[in-house]
Amino acid sequence: MAIYLDHAATTPIHPDVKEVMLPFLDEWFGNPSSIHQYGRTVRMAIDRAREQVASALNADPARIIFTSGGTEADNFALLGVAAAYSEQGKNHIITSQIEHHAVLDACKYLERIGFDVTYIPVNHQGRIETEALKQAINSKTALISVMYGNNEVGTLQPIEEIGNLARDRGVLFHTDAVQAFGIEEIDVNGLPVDLLTISSHKINGPKGSGALYLSKNVKIVPRLFGGSQERRKRPGTENVPGIVGFGKAAEITASVRAEHRKQMCLLRKALLKELDQERVHYVVNGDLEYSLPHICNLSFPGTDTETLLMNLDLEGIACASGSACTSGTLEVSHVLEAMHLSDEVTRSAIRFSFGRGNTVEEMKETAKKTAQIVRRLMKES
């Protein structure tokens, strides 16, 4: 059996999630906007899912907008806020150099249509330089978008500090919490965030389902038009099985989060310890203290990412080079590039990302096989 260590790309569906979804692929097929009993049953299920998702963030259910996933929620946050605030002459947005492409590419588009975007640099650990962010805020700044935890290296950002900075200056704050949602306790009432993105398939829910949390004071222009669903902010007949599954996944996540985090720390520790025992030279990319423990980005200087991944795959170990969206191309990771690591390190980086079901035994096997491969490649070169 292969070992799956690519949970930052996607996770398997939890059996309980699958079970609650099945009736909605079968007898409960109604349109939630219909007033007859077929519709009403489904409407109730969506309401329940909204409560489950909201509860996992300590949010008011009315502040949750269901979307087709993290990508759409990020795009909605960036483009929707930009459209709303440019009407007041605010056409400046601040983000970081290490965001997911759902944020970065939305920003590139905004630049093409006349917005100014500042991309804040990060340090060698992938932490944003808050001083640079402070300097970047001006009277035209509408929004700051900085991710909660990075999907390639796992580094956590000083979300509270950034949010407070934004609040002091009257600027909205969006955070992509897709990777953090399953690991960190997130309380939107305590955190100074105005918009927050989450995705279902990164927490053992189905793909094609996600949400944007929107606080009360946010003005946002819809990206879609045509119906009254999701408070007219995201019209279209709802992805009912996806939403119901997301609700259940969020409920499970919230109830096991602390335990899950502990388990992820254990796995990462085990992997690194085994690699140490194998006496293979590696470099940790990111920050071991201030990080999401399910993401472990390592470099093996003297080898290269592609060859490593191919060999690991042959040995039955599925991991990645960073973001799934850029793998398949030889492009260097924009995250590692922004961290200004040496070329050797950047070109030999791989990401192990853990999740539900992974075991310490698997970490041992992974470390052994990785060490074998690295030794072989070093001999060959």
Ligand X SMILES: *Cc1c(COP(=O)(O)O)cnc(C)c1O
- Which residues are at the interface with ligand X (CB under 6 A)? 69-71, 74, 100, 102, 147, 151, 176, 178-179, 199, 201-202, 210
- Of the pair 11, 52, the CB lying nearest ligand X is at 11
- Of the pair 13, 373, the CB lying nearest ligand X is at 13
- Of the pair 14, 100, the CB lying nearest ligand X is at 100
CB of 262 to ligand X, least distance (A): 22
- Angle formed at CA 188 by CA 124 and CA 254, multiple of 5 degrees: 90
- Of the pair 32, 69, the CB lying nearest ligand X is at 69
Q: CA-CA distance, 269 to 275, in Å (whole number)? A: 10
- Of the pair 275, 292, the CB lying nearest ligand X is at 292
Pair of tokens at residue 191: 């955190």
- Of the pair 30, 149, the CB lying nearest ligand X is at 149
74: phi then psi, degrees, rounded to nearest 5:
-60, -50
Catalytic residue among 107, 265, 319, 325: 325
CB of 150 to ligand X, least distance (A): 7
Cβ–Cβ under 8 Å, residues 319 and 32: no
CB of 204 to ligand X, least distance (A): 13
Cβ–Cβ under 8 Å, residues 359 and 3: no
When CB distances to ligand X are compared, the closest residue is 70
Half-sphere exposure of 263 (CA within 13 A, CB side): 16
CB of 198 to ligand X, least distance (A): 9
CB of 157 to ligand X, least distance (A): 11
Cβ–Cβ under 8 Å, residues 337 and 22: no
- Angle formed at CA 118 by CA 116 and CA 120, multiple of 5 degrees: 175
CB of 325 to ligand X, least distance (A): 8
In three-state secondary structure terms, 296 is strand
- Of the pair 137, 188, the CB lying nearest ligand X is at 188
Cβ–Cβ under 8 Å, residues 66 and 238: yes
Q: CA-CA distance, 164 to 114, in Å (whole number)? A: 28
CB of 292 to ligand X, least distance (A): 10
Q: How many CB atoms lie within 10 A of CB 119?
A: 17
378: phi then psi, degrees, rounded to nearest 5:
-65, -35
Q: CA-CA distance, 136 to 119, in Å (whole number)? A: 9
In three-state secondary structure terms, 327 is coil
Q: Considering only CA atoms, which of 1, 13, 7, 5 is closest in space to residue 208?
A: 13
Q: CA-CA distance, 289 to 311, in Å (whole number)? A: 30
In the annotation, is 325 catalytic?
Answer: yes
Cβ–Cβ under 8 Å, residues 366 and 5: yes
Cβ–Cβ under 8 Å, residues 276 and 246: no
Active site residues: 325
